[in-house]
Amino acid sequence: MSQAAPHLRRSVLYIPASNDRALAKIAALACDAIIIDLEDAVAPSEKPAAREKLAAIFASRPSGIREIIVRINALSSQWGSDDLAAALACKPDGILLPKVETPRDLLEAGDLIDEQDAPDSVLLWAMVETPRALLNIGAIAELGRDPASRLSCLVAGTNDLVAATGILATPDRRHLVPWLMQMLLAARAGGLDILDGVSNDFRDLGAFAVECAQGAAMGFDGKTLIHPAQIEPADTAFAPSETALAEARRIVEAFSLPQNAGKGAIALDGRMVELLHLAQAQNLLAKAAMIAK
């Protein structure tokens, strides 16, 4: 599988499409990506009006935000099809599908997107937020190996998982961690990015920073956020460290030496380094360059 171009998704902020005050602040945000939410954050009575705001939101799109994603309502709902059509008309960077439970959910959405002649640049993101999704996570993530599926990113829906299973939500997330790691493993097998779930107490930034550090240590690419105050801690936690960058530069430089041309594995600092490590190093350095800009 060829390696896809890296995306910077350290901090991904949900903004309800019905919240005019929050929408007006988009240009001032320093997050990597925004999810314009038509689903959970919008009351049923407000959904048609929220959908109609999409065109204006994208018409005034700021240049600093790398990706703008639209979370639609489930295609099986009364709002889903209209949400998808309105979102695609705005040419977003991606569509976030809620309640994905099987590969078919993504394939059917991809077919609808293809039928509307959306460009290949419109990606699919998938919420993993139900027990059934976890049981099918390997097959869902495997679609990431097929560019035609458009699948680019998994998003942990931790609030819904807690509600659906009845587990106790503790500050250390001890009961969620096994499922989060299951999602992470599937995402990496499918060549996908994966984002950690939200932290509901946006006032306790100390606890939020601990949760971000936990997510980064588990291998997540970033975190979904519900408040702008969470952007800086997320960016800090999910940015590559100076030690990791220095190591990445050594790997790239070593493989570029004439004596290592064409080799699949080389010795570096007394250990074996393979092409997979080179790909990881290049990806890390590319993300660092994006952050620097």
Does the annotation flag 115 for ligand binding? Answer: no
| pLDDT classification of 65: cutoffs 50, 70, 90 | confident
* pTM (two decimals): 0.91
Q: How many domains does the chain have?
A: 2
pLDDT of residue 126 exceeding 60, the answer is yes
Domain-located, residue 91 = yes
Res 167: pLDDT: 97
Residues 197, 254 share a domain? no
User: What CATH number does residue 178 fall under?
Assistant: 3.20.20.60
1 found inside a domain: no
The pLDDT > 90 percentage for the chain reads 87
Same domain for 209 and 249, yes or no, is: no
Which backbone phi and psi does 67 adopt, to 5 degrees? -135, 140
pLDDT of residue 4: 66
Query: What single-letter DSSP state applies at residue 8?
Result: -
- Strand 67-71, strand 94-97: pairing: parallel
Please tell me whether residue 70 adopts helix, strand or coil conformation. strand
In a domain, 134, yes or no: yes
200 and 272 in a common domain? no
Q: What is the span of the domain harbouring residue 274? A: 242-292
Q: Of 194, 218, 238, which residue constitutes the final position of a domain?
A: 238
Residue 6 counted as domain residue: no
What does the mean pLDDT of the chain come to?
94
Are 93 and 122 a contacting pair, CB within 8 Å? yes
Mark whether 216 and 248 lie in a shared domain: no
As a whole number of angstroms, the distance between CA 108 and CA 211 comes to 34
State the pLDDT at residue 107.
97
**29 within domain boundaries:** yes
- Is 71 annotated in a binding site? The answer is yes
Whether residues 287 and 218 fall in one domain? no
- Statement: residue 152 has pLDDT above 60: yes
- Compute the half-sphere exposure of residue 233: CA atoms within 13 Å on the CB side of its CA: 23
- Residue 23 Cα distances to 42, 46, 58, angstroms: 13, 15, 11
Q: What is the pLDDT of residue 3?
A: 53
Q: Are residues 159 and 276 both part of a single domain?
A: no
Would the pLDDT of 2 be above 60? no
Greatest CA span in the chain, whole angstroms? 67
pLDDT digits (tens, 9 = 90+) for 78-117: 999 999 999 999 999 999 999 999 999 999 999 999 999 9
Do 63 and 79 sit in the same domain of this protein? yes
Is 212's pLDDT higher than 70? yes
Please, which pLDDT band fits residue 62 given cuts at 50, 70 and 90? Answer: confident
Residue 96: its pLDDT value, please?
Answer: 98
153 and 275 part of one domain = no
Reported confidence tier of residue 276, pLDDT bands at 50, 70, 90: confident
Domain boundary among 238, 253, 271: 238
Structure-block tokens of residue 115: 């039928």
Same domain flag for 116 and 30: yes
Average pLDDT over residues 37-50: 94
Residue 129 counted as an annotated binding residue: yes
Show the DSSP H helices in the chain as ranges: 20-23, 47-52, 54-59, 80-89, 103-115, 131-135, 137-142, 158-165, 177-189, 205-218, 231-238, 242-255, 275-292
From residue 278, alpha-carbon distances to 61, 250, 251, 254, 267 in Å are: 35, 10, 6, 9, 12
Judge if 24 and 52 occupy the same domain. Answer: yes
What is the per-residue burial (b if ≥16 Cβ within 10 Å, else e) of 239-278?
A: bbeeeebebbeebeebbeeeebeeeeebebeeeebeeebb
3-state DSSP assignment of residue 171: coil
Share of the chain above pLDDT 70, in %: 98
In a domain, 2, yes or no: no
Cα end-to-end distance, the chain, whole Å: 29
Residues 117 and 247 in one domain: no
Q: What average pLDDT does the segment 252-257 reach?
A: 93
4, part of any domain: no
SS3 for 26-41, per residue? HHHCCCCEEEEECCCC
Q: How many whole angstroms separate alpha carbon 96 and alpha carbon 72?
A: 6
Cross-strand partners of 196 = 223
Comparing 270 with 183, the larger pLDDT belongs to 183
Residues 6+ apart with CB under 8 A from 150: 110, 113, 120, 122, 123, 124
Residue at a domain's end among 220, 238, 256: 238
Tell me, yes or no, whether 264 and 126 share the same domain. Answer: no
Q: Is residue 283 part of a domain?
A: yes
> Are the C-beta atoms of residues 33 and 67 closer than 8 Å to each other?
yes
